[in-house]
Structure 1
């Protein structure tokens, strides 16, 4: 039986699965939003609502703001939808412009406030339910972040706050200065990205060279009732139909195992892959990144499945490509 989401424990009626909206708006360019982009958005939203998803995840940078613009148009064309859903967005990344050497991470007060104002304008809404700080900024001043978040909360522009891609230590530092609790941590987790599990079993062992997941992050989030969200939970389709040409043996074998389990349980490979995450007692909320209505619908059974401990470990060990100690 699935554990209750920490968001639900806080009185936020979030669905067990969220829809990530990075794929809306066309390319990552400055071309205008088209009628076809909006039509695609309507179809993705409708497919999500049909399987019980009421949680939609954005970021100010997704397709250079066009994903949020598409959603804003959907709100205008579908009156009442805004109050039926939970809206999450992120800020803190400045995308590379011509002449720049790289993207820049920016948690300055000015950037956070300006980013949220831009998000609200593009979405055509007065508030967002949850704002995430997108990626850790090495130059972050936590007191400055606290000032920005307090201003956003006081103005009614943001109801709750969270982070993305952060360790327990980074969240703890922010929380010392911020009055508002951080209630979400969105991390890269899937059946293909398993270092969050490897970090658990590597304690007191020589760490494997590719383990970079900060030890204690999952445990801290569970202890503090912080919602763990998984971005990339479908692993870009490598276990649910994407070509496996050039993939290593462990991925090929795991894809075959997923297919077999899906057939045995009369469901889809997508549902098996998500169920593997959702079966974890941390009550992980997958943020599926597809905007293809068919693939969204294929996730329908994920919250109904029950994987046995043996099935869960078999999938993990297969993906890991190495037996447990």
Structure 2
């Protein structure tokens, strides 16, 4: 089995671990960027680089734009960094803007192109490596998206495109109109969020009616060399130290199993949780959402570990809270 991720097969110098930058910029209050927030961003980037991370994930809405602003300041103060990393951002989600303008999704050409202008300005860069469409827009016109992508590609403002939270059918529908290959799909996947696995396990099973993950998406992305990225891969720390009061027996038992495996392998709980995701043949890219330097460094061993089938299934069955069908 190839050890290369789909992005690496396409020639991208993208590490299998990705630092998600949603936690940068001071949260969702929209307050001005401070030197302390820029310092935090520097520390997060340095911690990520220290464990081999070369890819960084943004979205135009993160911290209402401030996540990209502080990262852009890092790039301004460390200009050599730009050529060492892959920068990905997302657009398509719009916040509520007053009466008659609800929170919504927007894949119109105007919004996509204007969003990219804002992303480039905040990040202090001339070209974005990868642009993902954030959650699916029911009013999406594929030809209009194609025109936006064509314009962005020809102008050199975006090098490659992908999606987030989309099914195989939605990707096929969009790809039929787009000349450029869609190269990534970011989905919620973790030891806590198991629909992506249960969908396949419960074929021809009554339990399958309770699974919401779109059928065939994992297989389609693997066949088309589309990089599967996992958001919230650490499940907000549930298996790596978070207080488990009020959590299910399955979560508590799985957290104990993760702890035992970490002790046996002399590594961290974060590394075990991520290695479990990365053991999948799709060569999933976990997008680590923490901005804390110590927790970023705790993920260092994830790419080095390779769980056995028995270890992988032990974690899966434990988190399911039930035996395999």
Q: Where in structure 2 are the equivalents of 1:274-313 lying within 5 Å?
A: 274-313=274-313
Alpha-carbon offset, residue 210 of structure 1: 3.7
Which shifted more, 22-31 or 202-211? 202-211
Other-structure match for 2:174: 174
Other-structure match for 1:113: 113
CA RMSD of aligned residues (A): 1.2
Other-structure match for 1:223: 223
Other-structure match for 1:41: 41
Instruction: Identify unmatched segments of 5+ residues in structure 2.
Output: none
The Cα offsets for residues 49-77 of structure 1, whole Å up to 9 and x where unpaired, read as: 00000100000000000000001110111
Check whether the contact 1:2–1:279 (CA below 8 A) recurs between aligned residues: no
Structure 2 residue 85 is the aligned partner of structure 1 residue 70: no
Check whether the contact 2:26–2:37 (CA below 8 A) recurs between aligned residues: yes
SS of aligned partner of 1:30: coil
Give the TM-score of the pair, scaled to structure 1: 0.98
Check whether the contact 1:14–1:86 (CA below 8 A) recurs between aligned residues: yes
Distance across 1 between alignment mates of 2:101 and 2:243: 33
Alpha-carbon offset, residue 202 of structure 1: 1.2
Alpha-carbon offset, residue 97 of structure 1: 3.2
The Cα offsets for residues 242-287 of structure 1, whole Å up to 9 and x where unpaired, read as: 0001001000000000000000000000000000000011100100
Which shifted more, 205-214 or 216-225? 205-214
SS of aligned partner of 2:161: strand
Other-structure match for 2:53: 53
Distance across 2 between alignment mates of 1:300 and 1:83: 22
Check whether the contact 1:2–1:303 (CA below 8 A) recurs between aligned residues: no
Other-structure match for 2:149: 149
Alpha-carbon offset, residue 100 of structure 1: 6.1
Instruction: Identify unmatched segments of 5+ residues in structure 1.
Output: none
Kindly tell me: are residues 290 and 2 of structure 1, through their superposed partners in 2, closer, same or farther at Cα, counting changes over 3 Å?
farther
Check whether the contact 2:13–2:85 (CA below 8 A) recurs between aligned residues: no
Kindly tell me: are residues 313 and 281 of structure 1, through their superposed partners in 2, closer, same or farther at Cα, counting changes over 3 Å?
same
Alpha-carbon offset, residue 98 of structure 1: 4.4
Q: Where in structure 2 are the equivalents of 1:264-275 lying within 5 Å?
A: 264-275=264-275
